[in-house]
């Protein structure tokens, strides 16, 4: 009994009113059937017993339906708000983590790309290794045709590189494709060696 009272006390005003109306009608029907009508009509329900049974079943079904409909209390507004806030916070946290992860990945990719293109030497726009390029310049016989003070070369077949002061891209293009009396070194040197010697020449050429 105490449990029933506790459940009813926890219902909202609207649900309590609904249960009270249906329950009151059922009680009135029961009192009339038990005390008032038998006192006034001793043979009650008599030949109207079929209608009495139908009415009793209808009141029973109405009471059960009222309990099912009005006896279920919706969660308090504070709990609903708390659930919504928790879902919102979770969504915001997930979005922030995803954004951070994407940003970190993009930064890592950019840094890796820069390192791959940068090499370890100076000059040439940060491409190729100028120190390694000096050895390539010597081993490829570039000094026999070009003058370059940094390589102690004084060749005069090709342009004077100290005077020409070519850029990294110009040197790289010339080494790969050749031109004039200069052959192409595309097959003789690796891509790294071409980048290194381009970095050395472009960073070492001086007036």
Q: How confident is the model at residue 151 (pLDDT cuts 50, 70, 90)?
A: confident
Angle ∠(130,158,163) on CA atoms, nearest 5: 65
Judge whether 41 and 32 are in contact, CB under 8 Å: no
Question: What average pLDDT does range 100-110 have in this prediction?
Answer: 61
* 65 exposure class (CB count in 10 Å sphere: 0-12, 13-18, 19+): exposed
User: Taking every pair of C-alpha atoms in the chain, what is the biggest distance, in angstroms?
Assistant: 141
Is the model's pLDDT at 72 over the cut of 90? no
More confident residue, 188 or 1: 188
Q: What phi and psi values does residue 141 have, to the nearest 5 degrees?
A: 75, 25
Model pLDDT for residues 80-91, shown as the tens digit of each residue: 565 666 677 776
Percentage of residues in the chain having pLDDT higher than 90: 17
Instruction: Name the pTM for this structure.
Output: 0.40
Q: What is the pLDDT of residue 67?
A: 77
Residue identified by tokens 């016989």 is 141
Model pLDDT for residues 159-189, shown as the tens digit of each residue: 889 888 999 999 999 999 988 788 999 888 9
Is the model's pLDDT at 123 over the cut of 50? no
The token duo for 83 is 């659930």
Question: What average pLDDT does range 136-146 have in this prediction?
Answer: 90
């Amino acid at each position: 009994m105490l449990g029933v009272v506790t459940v009813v006390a926890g219902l909202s005003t609207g649900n309590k009113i609904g249960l009270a109306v249906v329950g009151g009608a059922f009680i009135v029907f029961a009192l009339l059937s038990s005390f008032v009508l038998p006192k006034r009509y001793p043979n009650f329900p008599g030949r109207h017993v079929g209608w009495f049974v139908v009415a009793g079943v209808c009141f029973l079904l109405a009471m059960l339906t009222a309990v099912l409909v009005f006896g279920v209390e919706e969660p308090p507004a504070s709990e609903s708000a708390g659930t919504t806030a928790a879902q919102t916070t979770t969504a915001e946290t997930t979005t922030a983590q995803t954004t951070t992860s994407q940003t970190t990945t993009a930064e890592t990719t950019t840094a890796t790309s820069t390192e791959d293109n940068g090499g370890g030497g100076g000059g040439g726009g940060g491409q190729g290794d100028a120190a390694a390029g000096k050895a390539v310049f010597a081993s490829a016989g570039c000094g026999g045709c070009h003058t370059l003070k940094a390589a102690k070369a004084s060749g005069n077949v090709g342009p004077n590189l100290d005077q020409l002061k070519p850029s990294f891209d110009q040197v790289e293009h010339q080494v790969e494709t050749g031109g004039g009396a200069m052959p192409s070194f595309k097959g003789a040197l690796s891509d790294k060696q071409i980048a290194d010697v381009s970095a050395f020449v472009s960073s070492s050429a001086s007036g």
